[in-house]
Amino acid sequence: MSNFMSRKDLTLFLGFAAVVLLLPILATPFGAAYPDLLQRFMIFGIFAVGFNILFGLTGYLSFGHAAFFGVGSYAAMWSFKLLSLNAIPAILFAVVMSGLFAVAVGYVSLRRSGIYFSILTLAFAQMSYNLAYSVLTPITNGETGLRMTLSDPRVIDGLFTSASGAPVPSLFGMSLSGWNGFYFTAIFLLATFFLSMRISNSPFGMMLKGIKSNQNRMNYTGFNTRPYTLTAFIISGMLAGLAGSLLVVTDPLAGAERMQWTASGEVVLMTILGGVGTLVGPVIGAWLIKYFENIFSSFNDNVLNNFYSFLPDGLREVVVAVSGKFVGEGWHLSLGLLFVLIVVFLPGGIMEGVRRIGARFGHMRKGSKSSARVGATAAVG
C-alpha cells in the first residue's frame, strides 16, 4: 500500500470520505441537510478542486473557468435530449467536450502568463457567454435556457422503452433526485479528490509546483513547461465540465448565466477562502460560499428575533436591526467581510488557520510532556 499511497494520504482520504458521506447528519445542526443543497456542495466542490489543480499547483489564475462549466452543462443537456436520460453518457460527453474546448482555449491562453493569461481566459469566457446568450440560440436557446421535453428524440432510450412522464435524469432507470442524487454526486467528488491527491503527490504534480515556484528558471534550463501547463489546464477544464454536467443532473436546465464572469470569480473566491494549493481547502471554500448563498441568505428578522430572544426587548431590537444588514439580501456583505478578514489575517485561507491551531496544540502537548519529564526527573533525583 505504501507504494500506491502513503499512510498519511490514506488517512486524509478516508477522513474526507467519512465527512462527505456523513454530511447529511453533520449538516443538520446548520440547517443545511437538504439533498438539493448538499448536491450543490458536492458539485461546486468538484469545480473548486479542478480549478485548484491549475491555480493552486501551477500558479495560473484563470478568470474564465465558468466557460468550461457552461460547456459541460450544455453538452450534458444535449446528451439527455438526443441520446438517453441515463446520466453516464451525458457526463462522459460533457467531460470530452469540455476537454476539447480546454485544449483550444489553453493552447492560445498559455502563450502568455501572469495577468495576460488571466485576461485571455476572461475574454474567452465572455465570448462564450455572449455566443450562448445571443449568437448560438438554436443550440443554447438563448436567455431562456435549454430544457428537456417529451418531444426530444432520445434515440437510445427509444430503442428500449417508450417515453412516459416528465423526462428526469436517471442512472440505469434509478432516479437521481433526492438522496440518490446526493450520493451519486458525492462519489464523483471523492473520485475528483482522489485524482487531485494523486496528481499533487506525483512527479507530474512536482513539475507543476516547480513551474509555480519559478517557471523562468525551469525554461532557462531547457525544460519545456508548456506540455505540463497545458495538461493541467485540460484536466482542470474537464473537471469543470464534469461539475457542469452534474449540475444539469441536479437542476435540468442549461443556461448562459452559468458562463458569466461572476461564476468564474466565484470559484476563485472558493479556492482562496479555503486555501490555494491545499487538497481540502477548495472544498471547504465551496461549501462555505454555497452555505452563505442558500442558508445564510434566508435569515430574516423573525429568525434573528428568535436567535436573540435571550436579550432584553430594547437591546434585542437594536441588535436585530444591525444584524439584519448582514443577512438576507445583505449576505454578500458578510461574505465580503469574511473574505477580507481571511486574506488579511490568514493569507493561506481557512486551512492555514487549521494548521496554526494544530501547531499550537502540538506545542502545548510537547510543553506538557517536557514539564512532566522534568517533574519525573526531579522526583527521581
pLDDT at 212 over 80: yes
C-alpha distances out from residue 42 to 24, 36, 88, 274, 287, Å: 12, 10, 17, 15, 8
Residue boundaries of the structural domains of the chain: 32-296, 299-347, 349-381
The Cα–Cα gap between 99 and 105 comes to 10
In this predicted structure, the answer to whether residue 381 has a pLDDT above a threshold of 70 is no
Compute the distance between CA of residue 176 and CA of residue 170 in angstroms, rounded to an integer. 5
**Separation between Cα atoms, residue 322 and residue 177, nearest integer Å:** 39
* pTM for the whole structure: 0.91
What pLDDT does residue 361 have? Answer: 80
Mind giving me the DSSP string for 78-146?
HHHHHT-SBHHHHHHHHHHHHHHHHHHHHHHHTTS-HHHHHHHHHHHHHHHHHIIIIITHHHH-GGG-B
Task: pLDDT band for 1, please (50, 70, 90 cuts).
Answer: very low
pLDDT at residue number 369: 62
Q: 157-166, 231-240, 370-379: which has the highest mean pLDDT?
A: 231-240
Q: 50: pLDDT confidence band, cut at 50, 70 and 90?
A: very high
pLDDT at 53: 96
* CATH code of the domain occupying 32-296: 1.10.3470
Any idea which residue has 528558471 for its cell? 217
Q: In this structure, what C-alpha cell is assigned to residue 353?
A: 488557520
Q: Where are the alpha helices (DSSP H) in the chain?
A: 7-21, 23-26, 35-58, 66-82, 87-109, 114-130, 137-140, 155-160, 178-200, 203-220, 226-250, 261-274, 281-294, 301-307, 313-323, 331-345, 350-380
Q: What is the mean pLDDT of residues 349-354?
A: 90
Provide the pLDDT confidence category of residue 157 given band limits of 50, 70 and 90.
confident
Mean pLDDT over each residue of the chain, to the nearest integer: 89
Residue with cell 461549501: 287
Counting residues of the chain whose pLDDT is more than 70, the rounded percentage is: 93
Cα–Cα distance for residue pair 245/250, rounded to 1 Å: 9
Q: How far apart are the first and last CA of the chain?
A: 47
Helix (H, G, I), strand (E, B) or coil at 254: strand
DSSP codes joined into one string, 148-178: --TT---HHHHHH----SS---EETTEE-SH
Assigned C-alpha cell, 68: 468550461
* Pairwise CA distance, residues 53 & 316, whole Å: 47
